[in-house]
């Protein structure tokens, strides 16, 4: 088995699962009915991608762990998602910006992964790349509406930008495992996607009358399992049934 | 899903006898009534009330199941539940659109839901404390909804009837999905089976209440039947539901919590059916009148979503106006 690939897949799988979990928290509580349909859609895309990634990670590991064992039965320090995706929803502005930041990174990531040397990765990328393009469009349109909407929405959007931008850097960080996979041509080089991310976000921010702040002190730690305080509560909810009733099929 | 027990519909109408007779003749010929067709005011009001209640039920119905999305025990179940709750929202959207064809806006209907003026199905005022409830709601609650809704596919009002065709297909899928969830529990450990039994104990009677009061006590049924908005009586549908559902409970190895339930070969003109115990109508009216365990919480959650979302809706509108103004200005240059 490739330890590096297994770990790099967990980084990816956890990003998608945790972001999907966060956006799913909105279901039934959205600001308008259309978003009560759109946000579960984004959650389904994110969680669906995590299932494919975990299933493959389990195969790569070769210890018989399936998607659920990987998704539900690890300790908090073993989750490798970046801090951005675990940030609480706060309000609709934060949520849409988080979706935009993530999808603006993942769309070119999956695009690059379409030419991976690994067939399964190519397959996962083929589906995910279309979904991420849609997420950029949907979340991007909201960022524009809110940024160039009312005084209040512009204020909230600016606050979200201030608060979430320091978490973006971690998307580009190459762990030793991710680097090994990139060197082998299995997974894309995250650092190389910076220009595309900047371009996507700059284009949307331009229309949203927003400015991307310079980040002097990026927030890092998720990839090495150093999560924020909110992550424990998220995992407590996510894992509740599996922990309370261990070893059962559902 | 939706309860047939239409609450507080005012079917009164003031048109001439000649007009009413011509309208009734169209109904009797099984012609569909379309949005721009002349119709008695009572027919319009009844439909607005019924479709509105149905739409609200879908929207409020997202809450008890949404309660388990973040805690679903497997990723497969989580995805299925998300998709299901999303379907309910989608049903709400079609139904609000169908009601809008009768001259009422979605905003107006939403205000009526939040103020308590408009009702929604009482079943959603029961809590969902366990994971098994996700199966039971699919099986019993959506099952009861389908019994009510299949005849609505032939409702005399075209937009409602057509919306119901798609809704019924999805509900039928939800019902099978819920039942499949319970099969997993019933094939599992004792704790899982106990969880399923506890759930049916709590949901059985409220599901029977979804069909509304006994025919003798159902004040609005007669006119709705005449207008072919409704095709079967509350008690007929309830009986059909019980007869279809009891064998499904037996297959799961679960007990229906009704000591008076017994097979009666004479029933249904000799085809046989189940006799059942009396429904607790005190509880039914308590919940209908707003005093169920979750009534206040449900409305509070809907109000919170609506109020917290106001700035988002305002911003979307403001942005659309700015954009339109810019386009007009550009065109003028």
CA distance A150 to A145: 9
pLDDT of residue B56: 97
Nearest to B98 by CA among B145, B142, B49: B49
Which tens digits make up the pLDDT trace of B241-262? Answer: 999 999 999 999 999 999 999 9
Nearest 5°: phi and psi at B264?
-125, 105
Among chain A residues, the shortest Cα distance to B182 is held by A250
Q: Is residue B217's pLDDT more than 90?
A: no
Which tens digits make up the pLDDT trace of B117-142? Answer: 999 999 999 999 999 999 999 999 99
Question: Residue B262: which H helix or E strand, with range?
Answer: strand B262-264
CA distance B30 to A163: 61
Over residues B194-201, mean pLDDT: 98
Positive or negative: CA dihedral B257, B261, B262, B268: negative
Over residues B82-102, mean pLDDT: 96
pLDDT of residue B10: 53
A19: β partners:
none
Q: Is residue B11's pLDDT more than 60?
A: no
Angle, helices A92-113/A151-164, rounded to nearest 10 degrees: 50
Angle, helices A119-147/A33-61, rounded to nearest 10 degrees: 150
Q: How confident is the model at residue B225 (pLDDT cuts 50, 70, 90)?
A: confident
Alpha-carbon gap: B263 to the closest alpha carbon of chain A (Å): 33
Which tens digits make up the pLDDT trace of B38-90? Answer: 999 999 999 999 999 999 999 999 999 999 999 999 999 999 999 999 999 99
Q: Is residue B230's pLDDT more than 90?
A: no
Question: Residue A3: which H helix or E strand, with range?
Answer: helix A3-24
Nearest to A20 by CA among A81, A82, A85: A85
pLDDT of residue B333: 81
What are the extents of the domains in chain A? 2-244
- For chain B positions 79-118, those within 8 Å of chain A (CB to CB) are 79, 82-83, 85-86, 89-90, 92-93, 96, 106
Give the one of A29, A31, A44 whose C-beta lies nearest to B301's C-beta. Answer: A29
CATH superfamily assigned to domain A2-244:
Ferritin, core subunit, four-helix bundle (1.20.1260.10)
Q: Per the CB < 8 Å rule, is A40 touching B85? A: yes
Q: What is the DSSP string of B110-158?
A: HHHHHHTSS---GGGGS---STHHHHHIIIIIHHHHHHHHHHHTT-SBH
Q: Per the CB < 8 Å rule, is A238 touching B304? A: no
pLDDT of residue B286: 96
Question: Residue B263: which H helix or E strand, with range?
Answer: strand B262-264
Among chain B residues, the shortest Cα distance to A209 is held by B319
B88 token code pair: 């309910």
Q: Is residue B13's pLDDT more than 80?
A: no
What is the maximal distance between C-alpha atoms in chain B? Answer: 83
pTM above 0.90, yes or no: yes
Stretches where chain A sits below pLDDT 50 are none
Alpha-carbon gap: A71 to the closest alpha carbon of chain B (Å): 8
pLDDT of residue B7: 45
CA distance B70 to B217: 41
Over residues B104-110, mean pLDDT: 95
CA distance A14 to B81: 20
Q: Is residue B4's pLDDT more than 70?
A: no
pLDDT of residue A159: 98
Q: In B, which residues are within 8 Å of A152 by CB distance?
A: 311, 314-315
Q: How confident is the model at residue B231 (pLDDT cuts 50, 70, 90)?
A: confident
Q: How confident is the model at residue B12 (pLDDT cuts 50, 70, 90)?
A: low
Higher pLDDT, residue B77 or B6:
B77
Higher pLDDT, residue B61 or B221:
B61
A108-145 b/e (C-beta count within 10 Å ≥ 16 → b): bbbbbbeebebebbeebbeebbebbeebbebbbbbbbb
CA distances in angstroms from A147 to A29, A91, A210, listed in the order given: 22, 14, 7
Which tens digits make up the pLDDT trace of B258-297? Answer: 999 999 999 989 999 999 999 999 999 999 999 999 999 9
pLDDT of residue B1: 45
Complex prediction ipTM: 0.97
Q: Per the CB < 8 Å rule, is A149 touching B66? A: no
pLDDT of residue B3: 44
| Arithmetic mean of pLDDT over chain B | 93
Q: Is residue B5's pLDDT more than 50?
A: no
- For chain B positions 143-172, those within 8 Å of chain A (CB to CB) are none
Which tens digits make up the pLDDT trace of A82-113? Answer: 999 999 999 999 999 999 999 999 999 999 99
Are A197 and A105 spatial neighbours (Cβ–Cβ below 8 Å)? yes
């Amino acid at each position: 088995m490739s330890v590096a690939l297994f770990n790099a897949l967990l980084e990816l799988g956890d990003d998608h699962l945790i972001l999907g979990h966060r956006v799913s928290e909105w279901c039934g509580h959205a600001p308008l009915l259309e978003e009560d349909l759109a946000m579960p859609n984004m959650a389904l895309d994110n969680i669906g991608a995590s299932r494919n990634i975990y299933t493959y990670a389990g195969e790569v590991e070769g210890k018989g762990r399936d998607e659920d064992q990987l998704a539900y039965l690890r300790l908090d320090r073993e989750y490798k998602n970046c801090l951005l995706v675990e940030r609480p929803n706060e309000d609709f502005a934060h949520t849409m910006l988080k979706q935009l930041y993530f999808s603006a990174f993942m769309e070119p990531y999956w695009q690059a992964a379409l030419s991976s040397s690994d067939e399964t990765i190519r397959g996962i990328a083929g589906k995910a790349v279309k979904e991420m393009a849609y997420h950029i469009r949907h979340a991007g349109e909201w960022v524009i509406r809110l940024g160039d909407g009312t005084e209040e929405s512009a204020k909230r959007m600016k606050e979200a930008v201030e608060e979430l931008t320091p978490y973006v850097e971690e998307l580009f960080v190459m762990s030793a495992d991710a680097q090994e996979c990139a060197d082998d041509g299995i997974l894309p080089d995250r650092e190389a996607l910076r220009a595309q991310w900047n371009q996507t976000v700059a284009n949307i921010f331009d229309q949203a009358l927003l400015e991307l702040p310079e980040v002097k002190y990026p927030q890092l730690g998720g990839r090495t399992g150093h999560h924020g305080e909110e992550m424990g509560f998220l995992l407590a909810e996510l894992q509740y049934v599996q922990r309370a009733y261990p070893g059962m099929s559902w | 899903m939706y309860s047939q027990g239409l609450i507080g519909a005012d079917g009164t109408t003031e048109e001439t006898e000649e007009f009413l007779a011509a309208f009734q003749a169209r109904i009797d010929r099984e012609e569909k009534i379309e949005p721009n067709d002349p119709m008695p005011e009572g027919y319009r009001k009844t439909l607005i009330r019924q479709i509105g209640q149905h739409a609200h039920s879908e929207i409020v119905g997202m809450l008890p199941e949404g309660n388990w999305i973040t805690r679903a025990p497997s990723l497969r179940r989580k995805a299925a539940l998300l998709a299901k709750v999303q379907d309910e929202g989608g049903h709400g959207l079609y139904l609000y659109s169908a009601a809008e064809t009768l001259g009422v806006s979605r905003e107006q209907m939403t205000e009526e839901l939040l103020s308590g003026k408009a009702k929604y199905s009482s079943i959603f005022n029961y809590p969902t404390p366990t994971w098994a409830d996700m199966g039971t709601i699919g099986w019993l609650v959506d099952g009861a909804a389908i019994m009510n809704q299949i005849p609505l596919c032939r409702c005399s009002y075209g937009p409602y009837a057509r919306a119901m065709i798609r809704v019924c297909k999805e509900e039928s899928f939800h019902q099978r999905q819920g039942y499949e969830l319970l099969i997993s529990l019933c094939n599992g450990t004792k704790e899982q089976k106990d969880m399923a039994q506890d759930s049916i104990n709590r949901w059985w009677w409220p599901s029977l209440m979804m069909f509304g009061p006994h025919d003798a006590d159902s004040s609005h049924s007669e006119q709705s039947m005449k207008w072919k908005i409704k095709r079967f009586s509350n008690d007929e549908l309830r009986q059909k539901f019980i007869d279809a559902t009891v064998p499904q409970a037996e297959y799961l190895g679960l007990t229906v919590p009704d000591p008076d339930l017994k097979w009666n070969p004479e029933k249904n003109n000799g085809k046989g059916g189940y006799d059942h115990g009396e429904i607790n109508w005190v509880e039914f009216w308590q919940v209908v009148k707003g005093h169920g365990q979750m009534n206040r919480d449900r409305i509070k959650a809907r109000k919170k979503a609506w109020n917290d979302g106001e700035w988002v809706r305002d911003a979307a509108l403001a942005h659309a106006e700015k954009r339109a103004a810019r386009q007009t200005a550009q065109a003028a240059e």
